[in-house]
Amino acid sequence: MNTILRLEHIQKYYGNEGNLTKAIQDISFSVEAGEFLGIMGASGSGKTTLLNCISTIDTVSAGHIFLEGTDITEIRQSSLARFRRENLGFVFQDFNLLDTLTISENIALALAINKVPAGSVESRVLDMAGKLNISDILDKYPYQVSGGQKQRCACARAMINNPKLLLADEPTGALDSHSSQMLLSTMQSINEQLGATILMVTHDAFSASYASRILFLQDGEIFMELRKGDDSRSAFFDKILNVLTMIGGGQSHVC
Amino acid sequence: MYAKLVFRNAKRSVKDYLIYIVTMTICVALFYAFLSVSSSYYNPDIGSEYDFTLLSDGMKAAICMITLLLLFLIRFVNHYMLLRKQKEFAIQSIMGMEQKTIGRIFFAETLIMGMLSIWIGIFSGVFCSQFITAMLLTAYGKPYEISWTLFPDTVLLTVVFFVASFFVVGIFNTRTIQKTKIIDMLSAAKENEPELKKSRFISIAAVLFELFTAWGLMTGIQKIYFYDDPRLALSVQLMFWGNILFPLLAVLWPVFCRIRKKKREYCLTGLLLCSVFNAFAAASVAALKNKYYLPLGSGTLNQYLLFVLIDLIFFLCALIYLTSGLIAAWKEKSPEHRYHEEALFFFGQITSKLNTTSKTMTIICITLVLAIFMFVAAPVLTGWSSGYLDIRSMYDVQAFSRYNQVYEEENLPQDSYEIIADFLTEHKIDTDYDCTFNLYLPEKEDFHNRQKYDFPIAAIAVSDYNAIREMLGYGQISLGEDEFTTQWKTIATGEERDSFLKEHPSIMTDAGKLTLSGQSYYEDAIGETAYNSYTDVLYVLPDRICEKLLPVMKNRYITTSENISYENAIELEKLFTERFPEQTESGVMYGIRLCTLQTNSTIANNFVLQAAMLYGAVVLMIICLTVLSLQQLLDAGQYQYRFSVLRKLGVEEKAVGKLILAQLGVWFGLPIIAAMIVSAVIITYFIQIISAEISAYIGFGALMLQIGATIGILSILLICYFISTWIIFRRSVNPS
């Protein structure tokens, strides 16, 4: 398998000399094409900062990030937006759909922004909607559909341009358990059937159990790595819970 | 501590308050500038023949009336600031600050900004008042001198008025803050997804339009029943039938749509077209009435004017409502339109906002039309009035009589108004010229003809005519033995004159037949009282002919070597009216016109009218632009979210900047362009109806200059507001 994303000694500091906050200390890892990688950690462990750096929304203080061999930390500011829309797909906790557009228009917007020929937009939207099972709500507005449907629409929008990497930031954060399960199954099928590479940030063990590999962050460093391998999902889930207990400090710290 | 907080807040959020400061400064500047004229310290050199108190009292009343509109604006702008600061209030409340205190801090903040505006406003007002003084001195025909004076009483009045309004609004705001729950304040700035609901406003507007159209239809039927005559010209017939058929179409159209189950937009488009046709049909009534002297009263004219207004207002409502539909239709037409880069996002922004604010937009449009119309109409009306003054007040004293109510020949006036000459001698006022003369009826039998549209033309003896011409500095004329010539009012058109002269190559008089002289007409203005009622022409006949004719009116014109002072003029007028009242038992109507009084009242009234209309127009424009601007800024929270989504999707900053500019462009452009179109129609109609007066008294050049000035002022205001809105909008949606 070939490596699609490679992070080399990433560091991210906030503040100035007198008051320096190290959000990311030193992180290096790589993601293979078609992998479903989960990133877990407590609040303040640096997982969202990491995602922001990968997604070029934020810049790194030191280190390099390579996406298919391109060092994205070296891309000029003016070319970043173009890079983002051509290579990355985003799914956010709060959906980030536009309330002025219908579900189909929300998906089509991502294609239009990417200057896809107008004639092929609608067929591609229909095709993607079919895969994500949202064909029947295409003409509705976001406020007329459920949270789960909104998030599937967000997934469709993220996937429509066939991004090299799909970045998901707490995608189930605003969903009930049923919708979460549905969404995660959808993401799994995107990963397995469409071959998408997914990087998902979450602090929910259940969501993380859908990933094939999990990186646990603590205080801006990789604390542990967990691979699913041939385990069943429930076994993997148990392993995750164990790691979380460890990160939480275990028995030794509570006294 | 609180004082420190207030000052730091004010300093930090000066940019947030930009719209507030701009609006308040313009309001204060205008208020001060217009009111400075009525200051007791204001003493322009306008000469002893003018009485200034007449003007300043009128100005005070007019300005204060219009200023009431400003209260609405101050309230609106404060409301916007309140919403903008909700989140900050919530945090302060959570920290434990009492809501009462928060209200007070907010009030102190707005007061600081308000005082800053008053300060800048008064100084800009001093600058603006130069224009007002220039306008005033030009009105009185005096040379203009710059005087940079600050009038203490006007400053005091301005400060008191605005501070008082800030306090009133501040009390309301403090109460609002006290009543608001913390949780509502917290979530106020958060993105919410409002339902894109179309307002019901248009249905109500359509029902009202239908009711008025039905009334118009009934009026049309009534008018054709009473006034139609097959002998009338084709255009008049068309007017009568148009006023039945178009309203009928408008009434039946919704019924047709209901039966055929057509869409609402389809029905409205039909009604929109109907409103245009209706407006044309109704507008033609006034135009044709003037042309063909139709026997329609002013009540009917006003009624049709109302119909035109209703049609135009509905046109605006429907146009703005349908705009979003039109955009949607264009969007749906082809994928190229729809999926061109960020077009989808742009259409979404525009249609969603239009759908929810069509009512506000329509009201803004109507207000803008009113403002533009006031701007253009002010100089037309005052120009008309002062141009008319030049023509009617050509002599220092004019005494005249009318025989309209006299039914017996022996009751016709004989007196030669010696009372005036006695008064002038008594007050040692020298006269340069003094001319007493009769006006005759060419044919005695016409004495009993009192039909307005067929009123007999009066005649003057050539010697009297020459005496008047000498008074006015015109050359003498001569007439052959059996010849006559004509003298025309300024308002008469060349066409009217030519056709009259063609039809009257000779006239019959009681002393024989006369033929038209080689020099068939004279146009030099000789005053309005030399003509018979309802006529624009006067015959000039040889003296020997006039001796045999029936004299029906007696006039006396006097010019003095120096202007009659205001006090003397008042006294002479009083004396004359006591001796020769307007209504006498014999039926003769007497009148006196004194140049001093006419000029005084006309100039003062004109100035008040013009100043009030210009002030009102600018205030209305400011209100419209402020509301437009704040409508966009109020939703900044939502916009910030939407633009952040776009950025996340990979849209470049440059494209975001373009989208913002386009969105604001449409938002400001749509109502202004719609208002401009409707105003252009109204102004064209207005100009057409009074085109004779405009060319006679004002001149089209001056009118065009005024229209240019209107566009200039509107553009300056628009640029101010557009740039302020753009700056704040960018600040709101850009990531910090």
Cβ-defined contact of A85 to B651 (cutoff 8 Å): yes
CATH of A3-253, one of 3.40.50.1220, 3.30.360.10, 3.40.50.2300, 3.40.50.300: 3.40.50.300
pTM: 0.74
Distance CA B145, CA B132 (A): 12
Q: Give the per-residue pLDDT at B410.
A: 85
Distance from CA of A106 to the nearest CA of B (A): 9
Task: Lowest mean pLDDT of A124-128, B50-54, B430-434, name the range.
Answer: B50-54
Q: Are B657 and B613 part of one and the same domain?
A: yes
Q: Give the per-residue pLDDT at A19.
A: 79
Q: Are B29 and B173 part of one and the same domain?
A: yes
CB hemisphere CA count around B239 (13 angstroms): 22
User: What is the three-class DSSP state of A129?
Assistant: helix
Q: Is residue A224 within a helix (H) or strand (E), and if so which, with residue range?
A: strand A221-227
Task: Lowest mean pLDDT of A142-151, B323-332, B660-669, name the range.
Answer: B323-332
Task: Lowest mean pLDDT of B233-242, B288-297, B518-527, B556-565, name the range.
Answer: B288-297
Q: Give the per-residue pLDDT at B376.
A: 80
Mean pLDDT in residue range B537-561 = 91
pLDDT in tens, B645-684: 888 888 888 888 999 999 999 989 988 998 988 888 888 8
| B597 in a structural domain | no
Kindly report the backbone phi and psi dihedral angles of residue B251, in degrees, each rounded to the nearest multiple of 5, phi listed first. -75, -40
- Asked if pLDDT for residue B544 goes beyond 80, the answer is yes
Domain ranges of chain A: 3-253
- Percent above pLDDT 90 for chain B: 19
Mean pLDDT in residue range B539-558 = 91
Please state, in angstroms and as integers, the Cα–Cα distance from residue A89 to each residue in A83, A157, B51, B339, B649, following that order: 11, 8, 79, 19, 8
- Percent above pLDDT 90 for chain A: 25
- Asked if pLDDT for residue B430 goes beyond 60, the answer is yes
The structure tokens listed for B622 are: 């400011």
Q: Are B315 and B425 part of one and the same domain?
A: no
Going by pLDDT thresholds of 50, 70 and 90, the confidence category of residue B49 is low
- Asked if pLDDT for residue B464 goes beyond 90, the answer is yes
Whether the CB-CB separation of A12 and A49 falls below 8 Å is answered with yes
Q: Are B186 and B226 part of one and the same domain?
A: no
Task: Lowest mean pLDDT of B323-327, B380-384, B445-449, B501-505, name the range.
Answer: B380-384
∠ CA A54-A58-A64, nearest 5°, is 50
Residue A162 at interface with chain B, using a CB cutoff of 8 Å: no
Q: How far is CA B532 from the centre of its chain?
A: 32
Q: Give the per-residue pLDDT at A94.
A: 81
Q: Give the per-residue pLDDT at B295.
A: 76
Give B341's contacts in chain A (Cβ within 8 Å). 112-113, 115
List the CATH number of the domain containing B213.
1.20.120
Q: Are B184 and B132 part of one and the same domain?
A: yes
Helices first, then strands: H and E counts in chain B: 23, 9
Mean pLDDT in residue range B148-170 = 86
Residues in Cβ contact with B256 at an 8 Å cutoff, skipping those fewer than 6 apart:
B262
Nearest by CB to residue A99, choosing from B193, B335, B653, is B193
Q: Are B732 and B610 part of one and the same domain?
A: yes
Distance from CA of A162 to the nearest CA of B (A): 13
B366-392 CB burial, b ≥16 within 10 A, e <16: bbbbbbbbbbbbbbbbbbbbbbbbebb
Find the farthest-apart pair of alpha carbons in chain A and give their distance in angstroms, rounded. 66
Mean pLDDT in residue range B499-505 = 90
Q: Are B522 and B484 part of one and the same domain?
A: yes
Going by pLDDT thresholds of 50, 70 and 90, the confidence category of residue B248 is very high
Distance CA B221, CA B200 (A): 32
Pairing of strands A36-41, A198-201: parallel
Whether the CB-CB separation of A91 and A170 falls below 8 Å is answered with no
Whether the CB-CB separation of B187 and B638 falls below 8 Å is answered with no
Q: Give the per-residue pLDDT at B233.
A: 84
pLDDT in tens, B467-497: 999 988 899 998 888 899 999 988 887 888 8
Cβ-defined contact of A105 to B648 (cutoff 8 Å): no
Range of B445's domain?
A: 397-562
User: What is the three-class DSSP state of B541?
Assistant: strand
Q: Give the per-residue pLDDT at A213.
A: 93
Distance from CA of B633 to the nearest CA of A (A): 17
Cβ-defined contact of B339 to A108 (cutoff 8 Å): yes
ipTM of this predicted complex?
0.81
∠ CA B9-B13-B16, nearest 5°, is 145
Q: First and final CA of chain B: distance in angstroms?
A: 28
Q: Which residue in A187, A132, A195, A185 sits closest to A164, CA to CA?
A: A195
- Asked if pLDDT for residue A185 goes beyond 70, the answer is yes
Closest residue, chain A, to B331 (C-alpha): A105
Q: Give the per-residue pLDDT at A251.
A: 47
Distance CA B323, CA B328 (A): 9
Going by pLDDT thresholds of 50, 70 and 90, the confidence category of residue B587 is confident
Q: Mutual orientation of helices B152-179 and B99-139 as an angle, nearest 10°?
A: 150
Closest residue, chain A, to B652 (C-alpha): A81
Q: First and final CA of chain A: distance in angstroms?
A: 47
Closest residue, chain B, to A87 (C-alpha): B650
Q: Are B302 and B366 part of one and the same domain?
A: no
Q: Are B385 and B402 part of one and the same domain?
A: no
Residue A246 at interface with chain B, using a CB cutoff of 8 Å: no
Going by pLDDT thresholds of 50, 70 and 90, the confidence category of residue B46 is low
Kindly report the backbone phi and psi dihedral angles of residue B66, in degrees, each rounded to the nearest multiple of 5, phi listed first. -70, -35
Distance CA B163, CA B169 (A): 10
pLDDT in tens, B720-730: 889 988 988 88
Q: Are B514 and B534 part of one and the same domain?
A: yes
Q: Are B451 and B506 part of one and the same domain?
A: yes
Distance from CA of A196 to the nearest CA of B (A): 18
Q: Give the per-residue pLDDT at B193.
A: 44
Give A110's contacts in chain B (Cβ within 8 Å). 649
Q: Give the per-residue pLDDT at B736.
A: 57
Q: Give the per-residue pLDDT at B189.
A: 53
Q: Are B240 and B314 part of one and the same domain?
A: yes
Task: Establish, for the pair of chains A and B, how many residue pairs have beta carbons separated by less than 8 Å.
Answer: 89
Going by pLDDT thresholds of 50, 70 and 90, the confidence category of residue B459 is very high
Amino acid at B169: V
For residues B730 and B7, which has the higher predicted lDDT (pLDDT)? B730
Please state, in angstroms and as integers, the Cα–Cα distance from residue B158 to each residue in A61, A65, B162, following that order: 57, 64, 6
Whether the CB-CB separation of B652 and A81 falls below 8 Å is answered with yes
Q: Give the per-residue pLDDT at B199.
A: 63
B257: number of Cβ within 10 Å:
17
* Interface with B, mutate which of A87, A100, A144, A166 (most B CBs under 10 A): A100
- Asked if pLDDT for residue A226 goes beyond 60, the answer is yes
Domain count, chain B: 4
Domain end residue (candidates: B529, B562, B595): B562
Q: Give the per-residue pLDDT at B684.
A: 81
Q: Give the per-residue pLDDT at A29.
A: 93
Please state, in angstroms and as integers, the Cα–Cα distance from residue B593 to each residue in B102, B276, B452, B586, B604, following that order: 65, 46, 24, 22, 17
Cβ-defined contact of B341 to A111 (cutoff 8 Å): no
